[in-house]
Structure 1
Amino acid sequence: MKIGLFGYGTMGRMIDSLARDRGHEVVARVDGPSDKVPFDRMEVALDFSQPEAAPENIIRCLRNGVPVVSGTTGWLERFGEVTALCESLGGAFLYASNFSLGMNLFFELNATLARLMTAAPGYRASMTEIHHTRKLDAPSGTAISLAEGIIAQGGYHAWQSDQGGEGVIPIRSERIGDTPGTHRVAYDSPVDRIEIQHTAHTREGFALGALLAAEWLVGKNGVFGMRDVLNLPGDREPDR
């Protein structure tokens, strides 16, 4: 594939290296505003830029007929606008808050546990997410996706940073060193605790998942998430 990269931070550079190892060619590395982007050379674009830049990057790709995969978080107030444009143009767009294959299986485990817990009175859900000190958004997009997965099963109606309450899931965010990412979901009762956790050892798993998503997206039309890439059963609503 001929790939355009939007955002050339840690993830962008890792995707660049891994793409070459997998036999792909990176034809553009866009790390800021630019009028000279070779859309005509791209078969697919990957956006891991900043929240303020991501919507316009995605829109420009779609308007130029380039399928685009985005892993940038913190811009989802414009998600509906972007997906509506994609559908009106007959384009292809895939968004995920986390491209790790293991984390996407963890999303499924989280939803299954949340469904089981609706039959167990006396437990209160809480979450903790830990990332490196350079991560700007808190809670992480992945933590929000996990919270929304719990809410979708019933019993909770909202999440909130740090503070919980009746029907509200508290999410604690920690920023420590160079931590790639840890997400913990717990259910506490007066007598015991049930806990599941996903820990990323390196960021390479995120880069690999994003490339697999890009390889899958080429030649398709529509709005997708990692559930589609992994062919997981059930609701096909894109991961937000």
Structure 2
Amino acid sequence: MKIALLGYGKMGKTIERIAVERGHSITARIGRQDDTVENIKGADVVIEFTSPESVLDNLFKVIPAGIPIVCGTTGWNEYLTEIEELVKKSQGSMVHASNFSLGVNLFFELNKKLAQMMQSFPEYEVSMQEIHHTEKKDAPSGTAITLFEGISEKLGKEKWHLGTQSEEDSIAIDAVREEDVKGTHSVAYKNDIDSIEIIHKANTRDGFALGSVIAAEWIVNKKGIFTMKDVLGL
């Protein structure tokens, strides 16, 4: 399979290594000097990991070109309906996810299950924390938002707020930025007696890269907009 990389930073280089290990070839590495989005022509699929400032422009160029795209950039959820309409109009195909790690997607499902169990125990107060590297621009992370959505669905908490201060009917999300952290997410339920906490910690970028390549393998010859839940059959 021929893959074009949109974004060639640390993540793009990790995706390249894993894709090549799985027998694929890289036809474009857009993000280097003199590279343009037009260089995606001839690719079987595009994998996009860039920034919230450039992701929409990239999607509006790639989707109408008829090339399947795997998008791992976060921070653009408010435009999702618009992108869904573009995919449908263009008869295109796209996998988007707040996190492509196989472990994190299992963590999402575990989070929903735990929240469902905690419905009957309102004496426990729920809170969340996410820790990322200092270069990450969106806060809270897209992964944290997805975790919140799983909790909100089960506990009826419709709002979140940044910080650790408790607010009625709102879940606190503590967003921490530290040097060289690949990504740690935790969900905690606490009362005066005890606490319950689940944690996912990424040790390397390989999990995100592997998941995006698996999604790229899966999306070929499909039409529509999908998530990692579709890819993994969860």
Find the counterpart in structure 1 of residue 156 from structure 2: 155
SS of the aligned residue for 2:41 comes to helix
Give the AA of the match of 2:2.
K
**Matching of residues 217-232 of structure 1 within 5 Å:** 217-232=219-234
CA separation of 1:2 and 1:220: change in aligned 2, threshold 3 A? same
C-alpha distance in structure 1 between counterparts of 2:203 and 2:36, whole Å? 37
Match of 1:166 among 165, 168, 178: 168
SS of the aligned residue for 1:41 comes to coil
CA separation of 1:11 and 1:36: change in aligned 2, threshold 3 A? closer
Query: How far does residue 36 in structure 1 lie from its aligned partner after superposition?
Result: 5.9
SS of the aligned residue for 1:229 comes to helix
Find the counterpart in structure 1 of residue 24 from structure 2: 24
- 120-129 or 154-163: bigger deviation: 154-163
C-alpha distance in structure 1 between counterparts of 2:104 and 2:37, whole Å? 36
Find the counterpart in structure 2 of residue 237 from structure 1: none
CA RMSD of aligned residues (A): 1.4
Give the AA of the match of 1:120.
F
Give the AA of the match of 1:213.
A
Deviations 1:112-151 (A, max 9, x none): 1111111112111000111112212111110111011100
Give unmatched runs, 5+ long, in structure 1: 233-240
Find the counterpart in structure 2 of residue 141 from structure 1: 142
Query: How far does residue 34 in structure 1 lie from its aligned partner after superposition?
Result: 6.0
- 95-104 or 70-79: bigger deviation: 70-79
Give the AA of the match of 1:54.
V
C-alpha distance in structure 2 between counterparts of 1:40 and 1:132, whole Å? 33
Query: How far does residue 55 in structure 1 lie from its aligned partner after superposition?
Result: 1.2
Find the counterpart in structure 1 of residue 218 from structure 2: 216
Give unmatched runs, 5+ long, in structure 2: none
Give the AA of the match of 1:203.
R
Find the counterpart in structure 1 of residue 13 from structure 2: 13
Contact 1:39–1:64 (Cα < 8 Å) also in 2: no
SS of the aligned residue for 1:184 comes to strand
SS of the aligned residue for 2:98 comes to coil
Contact 1:30–1:37 (Cα < 8 Å) also in 2: no
> What is the TM-score when the length of structure 1 is the normalising length?
0.93
C-alpha distance in structure 2 between counterparts of 1:164 and 1:60, whole Å? 43
Find the counterpart in structure 1 of residue 67 from structure 2: 66
Give the AA of the match of 2:31.
D
Whether 1:54 aligns to 2:55 is: yes
Give the AA of the match of 2:19.
A
CA separation of 1:158 and 1:126: change in aligned 2, threshold 3 A? same
C-alpha distance in structure 1 between counterparts of 2:24 and 2:124, whole Å? 49
C-alpha distance in structure 2 between counterparts of 1:130 and 1:121, whole Å? 27
Find the counterpart in structure 2 of residue 186 from structure 1: 188
> What is the TM-score when the length of structure 2 is the normalising length?
0.95
Find the counterpart in structure 1 of residue 202 from structure 2: 200
Give the AA of the match of 1:138.
A
C-alpha distance in structure 2 between counterparts of 1:219 and 1:78, whole Å? 25
C-alpha distance in structure 1 between counterparts of 2:36 and 2:183, whole Å? 34
Contact 2:30–2:36 (Cα < 8 Å) also in 1: no
Query: How far does residue 155 in structure 1 lie from its aligned partner after superposition?
Result: 2.9
Contact 2:187–2:199 (Cα < 8 Å) also in 1: yes
